[in-house]
């Protein structure tokens, strides 16, 4: 009886998974058809159905970015391109369209030029997503195990030396990949950035509608999210300015 119930449950899970996958493909195809026929708002409505179901992915966010860009909604376009890059950091099409969208930015926030070592580090860190660094660490670990096994089963000293130094190299690479993976996870889970999505936003000095105005920013600007009180979000600009804006004016990457 128990085996029968388990089989029924397994069949239900498989059918549900297949149905969900088919539904996702149908919605994506419908959204793509609307996009090709220049019905961009209808395309956005279709793609948002998947977002509301909890579906994520580089292609989905890339399509949303393209659709918003064609409607002139630069803030939302940049937001979804940034979201797409989190899933596929090395995608040249996403990078190109993001750079194109940023040409429309009104705010030019000055920031201190980073030390070149930090630039190299950030570039290396951003080369892959969390899943990408996880796969790399796993592959290097497997190669490390192979060199260890090879060392103990080598038939001559030359093979042992090659295995020994290869093992040291893979061990160093493994530790580096673990460090990069840890930093990447910490950055994505603890450090939050957002994109201004409204044409013009006035930041306040405190989370209160009657508070004194701080500064004005425009759609598409990328800011750091530092705190949240009710429907107010504390933001920090690259030049160090701090202010509070309503959460409806910003989208979290």
Q: Concatenated DSSP letters for 165-224?
A: HHHHHHHHHHHHHHHHHHHHHHHHHH-EEEEE-SSEEEEESSSSTTSPEEEEEETT-EEE
Please indicate, yes or no, if residue 109 is contained in any of the structural domains. Answer: no
Please indicate, yes or no, if residue 69 is contained in any of the structural domains. Answer: yes
DSSP-assigned letter for residue 39: -
State how many domains the chain has.
3
Listing DSSP states for 94-114 in one string gives HHHHHHHHHTT-------PPP
Domain membership of residue 218 as a residue range = 192-252
Q: What is the pLDDT of residue 111?
A: 62
Per-residue tens of pLDDT for the chain, all 253 residues:
445 444 444 444 444 444 445 588 999 999 999 999 999 999 999 999 999 999 999 999 999 999 999 999 999 999 999 999 999 988 999 999 999 999 999 988 766 566 667 778 778 887 888 888 999 999 999 999 999 999 888 888 888 999 999 999 999 999 999 999 998 888 777 889 999 999 999 999 999 999 999 999 999 999 999 999 999 999 999 888 999 999 999 999 9
In terms of Cα–Cα distance, which of 99, 22, 39, 31 is closest to 61? 31
In terms of Cα–Cα distance, which of 201, 253, 249 is closest to 224? 253
134 shares its domain with 62: no
Q: What is the pLDDT of residue 113?
A: 64
185 shares its domain with 196: no
CA distances from 194 to 161, 167, 222, 233, 248 (A): 51, 42, 6, 10, 12
138 touches 178 (CB < 8 A)? no
């Amino acid at each position: 009886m128990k085996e029968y119930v388990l089989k029924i449950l397994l069949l239900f899970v498989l059918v549900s998974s297949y149905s969900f996958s088919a539904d996702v493909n149908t919605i994506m195809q419908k959204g793509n058809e609307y996009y090709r026929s220049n019905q961009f708002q209808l395309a956005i409505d279709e793609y948002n159905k998947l977002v509301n179901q909890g579906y994520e992915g580089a292609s989905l966010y890339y399509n949303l970015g393209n659709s918003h860009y064609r409607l002139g909604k630069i803030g939302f376009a940049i937001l979804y391109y940034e979201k797409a890059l989190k899933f596929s950091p090395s995608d040249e099409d996403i990078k190109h369209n993001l750079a194109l969208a940023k040409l429309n930015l009104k705010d030019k926030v000055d920031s201190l030029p980073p030390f070149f070592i930090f630039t190299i580090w950030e570039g290396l860190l951003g080369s892959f997503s969390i899943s990408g660094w996880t796969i790399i660490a796993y592959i290097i670990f497997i190669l490390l195990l192979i060199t260890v096994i090879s060392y103990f089963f080598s038939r001559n000293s030359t093979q042992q030396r090659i295995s020994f130094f290869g093992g040291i190299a893979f061990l160093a690479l493994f530790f580096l990949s673990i460090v990069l993976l840890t930093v990447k996870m910490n950055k994505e889970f603890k450090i939050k950035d957002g994109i201004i999505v409204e044409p013009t936003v006035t930041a306040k000095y405190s989370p209160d509608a009657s508070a004194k105005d701080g500064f004005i920013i425009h759609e598409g600007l990328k800011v750091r999210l530092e705190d949240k009180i009710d429907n107010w979000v504390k933001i920090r600009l690259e030049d160090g300015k701090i202010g509070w804006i309503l959460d409806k004016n910003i989208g979290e990457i």
